[in-house]
Chain A
Amino acid sequence: MYEIRNLRLSFPDMAHKPLFGAPPQIEILKGLSFDIPKGVVLGIVGGSGSGKSTLGRAMLRLLEPSSGTIRFDGTDITHLSEPELRPLRRRFQMIFQDPMSSLNPRRQVHGLIAGPLRLHGMEDVTGRVSRALDMVGLPQNFATRYPHELSGGQRQRVGIARALALEPDFILADEIVSGLDVSSQAQVLNLLSQLVDELRMTLAFISHDLSVIRRLCTRVLVLHHGKIVEQAETAALFDAPAADYTRELLAAIPLPDPYQEWA
């Protein structure tokens, strides 16, 4: 589905901009190469500043890479312009971290889900919206609610429904449970793993939480300071972490168990 080769991305560093001339560049992604085959659920894990969110946004071409290539289903999308990307956009979707800010506060749930469907000229918009609500386990009468009238978990379901309704080939989920309480987090995670099984989705799941990654993902990619330090099958990574940073990360997780050795 995705082939990514030697991906680099830099931002101008406005904090150190000289009075005249161009600001210096900070490299966020430092040459990443990996594949996401069809049907894989890839966990992307890393601390703050690891570049995991930037990577996600580059994959969906919300950001343009400085160099390297991103191939989506055989098409090189690295430097496609926005109009060239638009027909492809239906096929890769994203669920955002903060549903409060990613759902326009002035639209009702129905409009939020239907908007993208209309943009892509899909038929039977109403039917698709109601099926999407069904899939994420929201009652139909939620269609007329505004985002601020929903709980955090419900908002995140709307975010998922919105992405699913377009029947994309790939979904990127960026820290989608980190803002939720454990009980809604459990619901959203269960929902997601059920959908992954039913729809055989290809999914990239960005998170800082290895416990969550382990529940959901088949492969894991560990990012640290803009580089991939380890990529492996999930079970292998947790059984025998190869990179120092992965081991450090695992050892730092406080398990809810007072007997865990955590020196």
Chain B
Amino acid sequence: MGARLWLSGTWLGLLALAALFAPWVAPHDPLAQDLFLGRLPPFWMDGAEPGYWLGTDSLGRDVLSRMIHGARIALMVALIAGTLTCLIGATLGVLAGFYRGWSDRIISRLVDIWMAFPPVLFAILLIAVLGPGLLSIILAIVIIDWTRFARVIRAETLSQGAMDYVASAQVAGRTRFSTMIAEILPNILPTVIALLTLEMGIAVIVEAILSFVNLSISTDSPTWGGMIAEGRTSVHQAWWVLVFPLFTLFLTVLSFSQLGEGLKDRFDPVLR
């Protein structure tokens, strides 16, 4: 049971360290171009150049260094966008599910209307209005995805609210607010955590997609999505420019969702 928790945790931990210390960890300047060193293959292939472990792209930039710097953006977006989305969505969801009545009617209507917009178009539109940049991406993710939390957490809160331990707290004389904080919240926490890590994975993907269609931050900063977009044009001559960032992206998103499942079990008093 602990295996997936440890595997995913280790990968994300390494990634976080690499991102944090990118300037020291990365072997090269991620932006330095050298046309003489263009499309060098990774170290185990013929024609590889020592020091360029995962090869270079068509402009001679080091793939490994670009990926490490790309991790900064990816993790920053995951952490900030994921947490903000979670805070806003889960709060609204708990309020709607616990207090019901008019607060539920307003929040649920809002969610319904919100979810009627196609999310990708919505994101592109938002970036077009806000202008590209890290902040815009984070805002776009939060503005679009809070509904996911609100909806799931509302349902979970509703079903927990119908349990007798909530009635029992009321019989014991707890206030409504303290019942929500002390009784309901701990019991929906596993769901919140699972959703949060899932959302972090989604944030990484959204950032990659927006970078892929060139709506992310400026082309100066390396991003995984941007690398995938560039690598796509030269996939027949230099597959490594596409494959390494794609694989990293895949592994990272998978790790986030596995981490969530693992933590969820960890937090369940019955399974523990």
Residues in chain A within 8 A of chain B (CB atoms)? 57, 60, 62, 82-83, 86, 89-90, 92-94, 96-98, 101-106, 115-116, 119-120, 146, 148, 162, 166
In the complex, residue of chain B having the shortest beta-carbon distance to the beta carbon of A168:
B171
B105 at the interface (CB under 8 A from A): no
Q: List residues of chain A with CB within 8 A of the CB of B50.
A: none
**A102-B186 contact, Cβ under 8 Å, with A89-B173, A119-B174, A146-B269:** no
Residues in chain B within 8 A of chain A (CB atoms)? 163-165, 167-176, 183, 186-187, 269-270
In the complex, residue of chain A having the shortest beta-carbon distance to the beta carbon of B183:
A104
> Which among A82, A83, A92, A102 is the interface contact of B168 at CB below 8 angstroms?
A102
A105 touches B269 (CB 8 A): yes
Q: How many angstroms between the C-alpha atoms of A57 and B176 in the bound complex?
A: 17
A102 touches B164 (CB 8 A): yes
Q: How many angstroms between the C-alpha atoms of A86 and B270 in the bound complex?
A: 32
In the complex, what's the smallest C-beta–C-beta distance from B104 to chain A, in angstroms?
A: 13
> Which among A92, A96, A106, A166 is the interface contact of B167 at CB below 8 angstroms?
A96
Q: How many angstroms between the C-alpha atoms of A166 and B168 in the bound complex?
A: 13
**10 pairs, A vs B, C-beta closer than 8 Å:** A62-B171, A82-B176, A86-B173, A89-B170, A102-B164, A104-B187, A106-B187, A116-B173, A148-B270, A162-B168
Q: 10 closest pairs, A vs B, by CB?
A: A116-B172, A102-B164, A89-B173, A104-B165, A96-B164, A102-B168, A101-B164, A101-B163, A94-B171, A119-B173
> Which among B167, B174, B187, B270 is the interface contact of A102 at CB below 8 angstroms?
B167
Which of A62, A96, A104 neighbours the largest number of chain B CB atoms within 10 Å of its CB?
A104
In the complex, residue of chain A having the shortest beta-carbon distance to the beta carbon of B164:
A102
Q: List residues of chain B with CB within 8 A of the CB of A83.
A: 175
**A60-B171 contact, Cβ under 8 Å, with A98-B164, A104-B187, A106-B269:** yes
In the complex, residue of chain A having the shortest beta-carbon distance to the beta carbon of B268:
A105
B167 touches A148 (CB 8 A): no
B167 touches A62 (CB 8 A): yes
A148 touches B269 (CB 8 A): yes
Q: How many angstroms between the C-alpha atoms of A101 and B175 in the bound complex?
A: 20
Q: List residues of chain A with CB within 8 A of the CB of B269.
A: 105-106, 146, 148
Q: How many angstroms between the C-alpha atoms of A120 and B176 in the bound complex?
A: 15
In the complex, what's the smallest C-beta–C-beta distance from B25 to chain A, in angstroms?
A: 41
**A115-B164 contact, Cβ under 8 Å, with A105-B269, A106-B187, A106-B269:** no
In the complex, what's the smallest C-beta–C-beta distance from A232 to chain B, in angstroms?
A: 29
A89 touches B168 (CB 8 A): no
Q: List residues of chain B with CB within 8 A of the CB of A115.
A: 169, 172
Q: How many angstroms between the C-alpha atoms of A97 and B168 in the bound complex?
A: 11
In the complex, residue of chain A having the shortest beta-carbon distance to the beta carbon of B172:
A116
> Which among B169, B171, B174, B175 is the interface contact of A93 at CB below 8 angstroms?
B171
Q: How many angstroms between the C-alpha atoms of A96 and B169 in the bound complex?
A: 12
In the complex, what's the smallest C-beta–C-beta distance from A83 to chain B, in angstroms?
A: 8
In the complex, residue of chain B having the shortest beta-carbon distance to the beta carbon of A105:
B269
In the complex, residue of chain A having the shortest beta-carbon distance to the beta carbon of B187:
A106
Q: How many angstroms between the C-alpha atoms of A12 and B94 in the bound complex?
A: 23
Q: List residues of chain B with CB within 8 A of the CB of A60.
A: 171
> Which among B163, B168, B173 is the interface contact of A120 at CB below 8 angstroms?
B173
Q: How many angstroms between the C-alpha atoms of A103 and B163 in the bound complex?
A: 9
A101 touches B171 (CB 8 A): no
Q: How many angstroms between the C-alpha atoms of A72 and B153 in the bound complex?
A: 38
In the complex, residue of chain A having the shortest beta-carbon distance to the beta carbon of B270:
A148
In the complex, residue of chain B having the shortest beta-carbon distance to the beta carbon of A119:
B173
In the complex, what's the smallest C-beta–C-beta distance from B264 to chain A, in angstroms?
A: 14
Q: List residues of chain B with CB within 8 A of the CB of A98.
A: 164
Q: How many angstroms between the C-alpha atoms of A148 and B269 in the bound complex?
A: 9
Q: List residues of chain A with CB within 8 A of the CB of B170.
A: 62, 82, 89
Q: How many angstroms between the C-alpha atoms of A101 and B166 in the bound complex?
A: 9
Q: List residues of chain B with CB within 8 A of the CB of A90.
A: 173
Q: Contacts A82-B170, A89-B171, A94-B167 given; 9 further ones with Cβ under 8 A?
A: A62-B167, A86-B175, A89-B170, A89-B173, A94-B171, A102-B163, A115-B169, A146-B269, A162-B168
Q: How many angstroms between the C-alpha atoms of A146 and B186 in the bound complex?
A: 15
**A94-B168 contact, Cβ under 8 Å, with A89-B173, A120-B173:** yes
Q: How many angstroms between the C-alpha atoms of A146 and B165 in the bound complex?
A: 14
Q: List residues of chain B with CB within 8 A of the CB of A102.
A: 163-165, 167-168
In the complex, what's the smallest C-beta–C-beta distance from A31 to chain B, in angstroms?
A: 25
Q: List residues of chain B with CB within 8 A of the CB of A94.
A: 167-168, 171
In the complex, what's the smallest C-beta–C-beta distance from A84 to chain B, in angstroms?
A: 12
Q: How many angstroms between the C-alpha atoms of A101 and B183 in the bound complex?
A: 12
Q: How many angstroms between the C-alpha atoms of A62 and B163 in the bound complex?
A: 13
B165 touches A89 (CB 8 A): no
Q: List residues of chain B with CB within 8 A of the CB of A166.
A: 172
A82 touches B175 (CB 8 A): yes
**A103-B187 contact, Cβ under 8 Å, with A82-B175, A120-B173, A146-B269:** no
Q: List residues of chain B with CB within 8 A of the CB of A82.
A: 170, 175-176
A97 touches B173 (CB 8 A): no
